[in-house]
Amino acid sequence: MINHLITQKNWQTQLSEAITSVDELLTVLNLETLKAQIYIPAHFHLRVPRAFVAKMTAGDANDPLLKQVLPDKQEQITVTGYVADPLAENDQNPIKGLLHKYQSRVLLTVTGACAIHCRYCFRQHFDYNANMPTSAEHLAITSYITEHPEVNEVILSGGDPLSVSNRRLFAWLDTLEAIPQLTTIRLHTRLPLVIPERLDNALLDRLSQSRCNIVMVIHCNHANEIDTNTAEYLQRARVAGVVLINQAVLLKGINDSVMTQTALSQRLFDAGVLPYYLHVLDKVAGAAHFDNDERWAISLYWLLLAALPGYLVPKLVQELPNRPFKVPIDIYKGS
């Protein structure tokens, strides 16, 4: 019944009604006893849509979806090597709102807003106010891309690019599609998992009409994030011609077992999404308690190779500062 009532609302209403109070979240999940174990962060506050909360198990303090969003006192512990800008993105920012880290593609931070605040987010300390392009700066971005003919793909990121209105998103699409050298537009988003209704008819119709290849990289970490309603919306996007792939982050105590990773890959495939990347955690300040030992990540990967067909095994990678590509983890290390 809770899910039914939520999904009758459009995505904008669901976005505006996201839970931002720790007390409310714990009350909804019958977990008031956890209050002593959490804290109220001074920045990067709690934010989680109710549709995502509805996928959690009430009374379960170890629910894998809850653990991704509930502030934990461990975030306050300073750990050597975990920093505010783990990918040195501030050094790859030639003009406002544009990151150029990889040769053939650029990334645009079209918004600083997300529908959900994941506690391990590598951009939780990013200065969006200083990097948000205005409408007037679209021309500068267009000029930069045109002056770099090796760029044939643009990644819309943020924040979450699907958290902006269709009007704003379509304006970006119009701008990019007018650049002849571009062949692919990619959207990195968590919205289809946390508010599936974001994949509305207007959005899917517009994406299906693009002259560019449209790739949507969703961010799903656990099979429980894909219920029947979510799978139906993802399949609709696939039917509209959107290429759907997933990138997950390996998170301690959440998805760092063969069982959880196997279930995730299978659930993704059933929903029309191919597993693409499994990221070793970016070492962002406040997220050290989510990190796994690299040796375990490698052991887990070998087990996944045995348990799954090759097309359902995501690439095990890490992103390092000042490297022009995702760095594959050496799975033969120590063998």
Query: Both 62 and 140 in a single domain?
Result: no
Predicted confidence at residue 260, as pLDDT, reads: 98
Q: Which class for 294: exposed (0-12), middle (13-18), buried (19 or more C-beta within 10 A)?
A: middle
Residue whose tokens read 């902006």: 164
Same domain for 153 and 298? yes
Check which CATH number belongs to the domain holding 148 and give it: 3.20.20.70
Q: Is 84 part of any domain?
A: no
Number of domains in the chain: 2
**Do you know the residue count of the chain?**
335
User: Do the beta carbons of residue 83 and residue 91 sit within 8 Å?
Assistant: no
Q: Is residue 316 part of a domain?
A: yes
The DSSP code for 162 is: G
Q: Which two tokens stand for residue 132?
A: 């948000």
Q: Is the same domain home to 263 and 129?
A: yes
Q: What is the dihedral of CA 22, 27, 28, 29, to 10 degrees?
A: 90
pLDDT of residue 126: 67
Dist. CA 331–CA 305, nearest whole Å: 11
Which residues is 245 bridged to in the sheet?
217, 274
Looking at the fold, whether 160 and 213 belong to one and the same domain comes out as yes
**151 shares its domain with 288:** yes
CB atoms within 10 A of CB 33: 10
| Residues 69 and 114 occupy one common structural domain | no
Residue 125, domain member (yes or no): yes
Q: Tell whether 28 and 169 lie within a shared domain.
A: no
DSSP conformational letter for 281:
P
**Enclosing domain of residue 37:** 2-76
Query: 3-class DSSP state for residue 243?
Result: strand
Determine the pLDDT at residue 2: 44
Question: Distance between CA atoms of 199 and 219, rounded to whole angstroms?
Answer: 15
Q: Are strands 327-328 and 315-318 parallel, antiparallel or unpaired?
A: antiparallel
Collapse the DSSP code of 132 into the 3-class scheme (helix H, G, I; strand E, B; otherwise coil) and give the result.
coil
Identity at 264, one-letter amino acid code: L
Q: Domain for residue 82, yes or no?
A: no
319-to-35, 230, 302, 325 alpha-carbon distances in Å: 34, 28, 20, 8
Q: Which H/E stretch holds residue 105? A: strand 105-109
Q: Is residue 335 part of a domain?
A: no
pLDDT along the chain (335 residues), means of 10: 57 97 96 87 91 98 97 89 74 80 91 92 72 78 95 94 96 96 98 98 98 98 98 98 98 97 98 97 90 95 97 93 82 75
Residues 12 and 71 in one domain: yes
311 and 267 within one domain: yes
Residue at a domain's end among 76, 100, 127? 76
